[in-house]
Amino acid sequence: MSRLANCTNRPKVIKALQRAGFQVHAGGKHAIITDAEGNFLSVIPNARQLNPYTLKAILKQVRLSEDEFVKQYR
Amino acid sequence: MNYLFSTKTVAGLVDASVRQVDHWVRTGLLKPSAREASGKGSRRRFTFVDVVAMKVISKLRERGCSLPKIREAVRYLKKQYPEDSDSRMLAQLTLLTDGKKVYLLTDERQIMEVLTHQHVWSLAIGQIITEIRSQVEALSTEWTETVKVGGAAYHLIVVRDGETGTFTAQCKELPGAIEQGDTAEEANENGKEAIRSALAFMNKRRTMGARRVQAG
């Protein structure tokens, strides 16, 4: 979990997901991740720091490997 | 301290094997207060008090007390304190054991024998409770809560991160609805909001998203 524990800043997470080819829709109370065609994949909680477990669940949900995510996160 | 524990977690906490805990429950030594298993596939859920009682049993076993003796003691205590549940009883009393028999230390600071004479070890319940509490604090636990959103019932899987003590909630039916919180209640409330957001988004889009999410 330590790898993801260092990658929990929400704006940066969103950037990383966008780089990995996902669309992020801001709206209402939550940002929403969809694939390139706009199919719903997951919600991103509205908190500055994401809990590592939350992040892990999101990555699993959008089917992005942790390695790939960490590479895109900067 | 209102988490519920699975058999496996309990076994880890009280230094017993899963089979031992299972056996104790099956043979009626102690009942899980939160939920009992019935048939195949349903899961037992233990409360904190149950865990403490299990630990007492485990310690008694460790000190060489045989299970039939413990059973006898529990039966006796049940007769003496019929209004208490098994777990509460075991968790509150101070028990003594010489490795063969179980003795009870009553409030009057007298040793009242549960079975027969002589006493050696005392089980400091207060210490056991503190010990287990700190273990529980460091534990990453997981449980399920049922919430209502727009008249429909959803299940939230709540995970507690032992390192940071924060909570993550993910909806079982809509795995895309993920939220978090500093307390379990907060994670619950946020989880509900996430379900609403997810539903609203999917309704607006009218995409195949819902089906895809379920398949995932």
Closest partner residue to B198 (CB to CB) among A39, A43, A63 is A43
**Edge-to-edge strand list for the sheet holding B94-97:** B111-113, B102-105, B94-97, B121-123
**CA separation for the pair A37, A59 (Å, rounded):** 18
Domains of chain B and any CATH numbers:
7-136 (1.10.1660), 140-215 (3.30.160)
More confident residue, A55 or B88: A55
How many residues can be counted in chain A? 74
Residue A73 domain flag: no
Nearest to B176 among A1, A38, A43 (CB): A43
Counting residues of chain B whose pLDDT is more than 70, the rounded percentage is 71
Chain mean pLDDT for chain B: 76
Q: Distance (Å, rounded) from C-alpha B143 to C-alpha B109?
A: 40
Question: Chain B closest CA to A27's CA: distance in Å?
Answer: 9
Is pLDDT of B141 > 50?
yes
What is the Cα–Cα distance from B126 to B135, expressed in whole angstroms? 14
- Look at residue B120 and tell me whether its pLDDT is greater than 60: no
HSE of B214, CA atoms in CB hemisphere, 13 A? 6
**pLDDT for B215:** 46
More confident residue, B167 or B35: B167
Residues 6+ apart with CB under 8 A from B80: none
Instruction: Report pLDDT for B103.
Output: 62
Residue with tokens 């929403």: A32
User: What interface predicted TM-score (ipTM) does this complex get?
Assistant: 0.87
pLDDT (mean) for B146-173: 87
Segment B52-71, tens digit of pLDDT: 888 888 888 887 778 888 88
Chain A residues with CB under 8 Å of B170 CB are 57
Q: Does a structural domain hold residue A14? A: yes
DSSP string, B179-207: EEESSHHHHHHHHHHHHHHHHHHHHHHT-
**A49: domain range?**
2-68
**Number of structural domains found in chain A:** 1
The predicted pLDDT at position B95 comes to 66
Give pLDDT, residue B29: 82
Residue A9 forms contact with B (CB below 8 Å): no
Residue A14: CATH number of its domain: 3.30.920.30
For chain A, which residues score pLDDT lower than 50?
Answer: none
Give the pair of three-digit tokens for residue B101. Answer: 């028999």
Q: Is residue A74 part of a domain?
A: no
Give B17-64 pLDDT, tens digit per residue: 999 999 988 888 887 877 777 777 778 888 887 888 888 888 888 877
